[in-house]
């Protein structure tokens, strides 16, 4: 009987050790959340204001509400979606896709393909890219001096090239 109780005790302690520390850290406003070194990962945010980062992965994406920041670098397929007031950056990626609301600041550099839809009063910068395709749903400014810049405004109208490498929707 003593042996049976000892065995049961060992097993219960073992189970407690294994189960006692399961945790579920959340990514919430003001927190930095990061994915790296793996095949794929998608970061969410509990609401607004997260600081998200992806790097050195095959596929990675961030999803956030308003006023978030997101960086994505050295990822084969990168995606970022965000509400309004966000600051997004893609670098060293074959493909970067962005869906962003109003007052969005998106910087895409050293990448093969940058593709974005941004809201009103947004600013997009593309540098050292193979293609930079931006659709603005309101007033916006796009800085793109490379080949392959294609900026369209609401309704599919081509953006105005205000000066070399600077495009705008809704007036220069």
Partner 1 sequence: MVAGHSSLGRAVRWALLTLWCLALVASARRAHAQSTIRVPGQRPNYVLELEPHVLVTPFEAPSDPSGDGYGLGVRGTIEILPEGFISKLNDSVGIGFGLDWIHYNGIGGRGYCRRFSATPQGVPVCVETSTHSSSYVFVPLVMQWNFWLHRQWSVFGEPGLALSHRSDGDFGVVPVFAVGGRFHFNDSVALTMHLGYPAFSLGVSFLF
Which residue ranges make up the site for partner 1 (CB under 8 A)? 3-4, 6-8, 10-11, 13-15, 17-28, 32-46, 50, 61-63, 77, 79-81, 95-99, 113, 115-117, 133, 135, 152
Shortest reach from residue 129's CB to partner 1, in Å = 13
Q: Using CB atoms within 10 Å of the CB of residue 19, give its burial: 0 to 12 exposed, 13 to 18 middle, 19+ buried.
A: exposed
Nearer to partner 1, 5 or 163 (CB): 5
Nearer to partner 1, 84 or 115 (CB): 115
Shortest reach from residue 170's CB to partner 1, in Å = 17
Q: Using CB atoms within 10 Å of the CB of residue 147, give its burial: 0 to 12 exposed, 13 to 18 middle, 19+ buried.
A: exposed
Shortest reach from residue 136's CB to partner 1, in Å = 10
Shortest reach from residue 94's CB to partner 1, in Å = 11
Nearer to partner 1, 14 or 128 (CB): 14
Check: CB of residue 42 under 8 Å from CB of residue 63.
yes
Nearer to partner 1, 24 or 171 (CB): 24
The token pair that represents 29 in the structure block: 């406003």
> How many CB atoms lie under 10 A from the CB of residue 18?
9
Shortest reach from residue 164's CB to partner 1, in Å = 23
Burial of 26-40, coded b for 16+ CB within 10 Å and e otherwise, reads: ebebeeebebeeeee
- Could you give the C-alpha distances from 25 to 40, 80, 89, in angstroms and in order? 19, 21, 25
Nearer to partner 1, 69 or 115 (CB): 115
């Amino acid at each position: 009987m003593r042996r049976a109780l000892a065995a049961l005790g060992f097993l219960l302690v073992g189970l407690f050790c294994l189960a006692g520390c399961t945790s579920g850290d959340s990514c919430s406003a003001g927190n930095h959340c990061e994915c790296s070194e793996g095949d794929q990962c998608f970061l969410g945010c509990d609401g607004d204001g997260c600081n998200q980062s992806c790097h050195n992965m095959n596929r990675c994406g961030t999803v956030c509400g308003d006023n978030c920041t997101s960086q994505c670098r050295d990822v084969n397929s990168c995606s970022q979606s965000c509400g309004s007031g966000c600051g997004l950056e893609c670098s060293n990626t074959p493909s970067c896709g962005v869906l962003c609301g109003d007052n969005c600041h998106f910087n895409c550099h050293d990448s093969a393909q940058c593709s974005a839809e941004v809201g009103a009063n947004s600013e997009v910068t593309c540098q050292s890219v193979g293609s930079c395709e931006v659709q603005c749903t309101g007033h916006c400014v796009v800085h793109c001096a490379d080949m392959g810049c294609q900026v369209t405004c609401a309704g599919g109208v081509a953006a105005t090239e205000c000066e070399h490498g600077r495009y705008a929707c809704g007036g220069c």
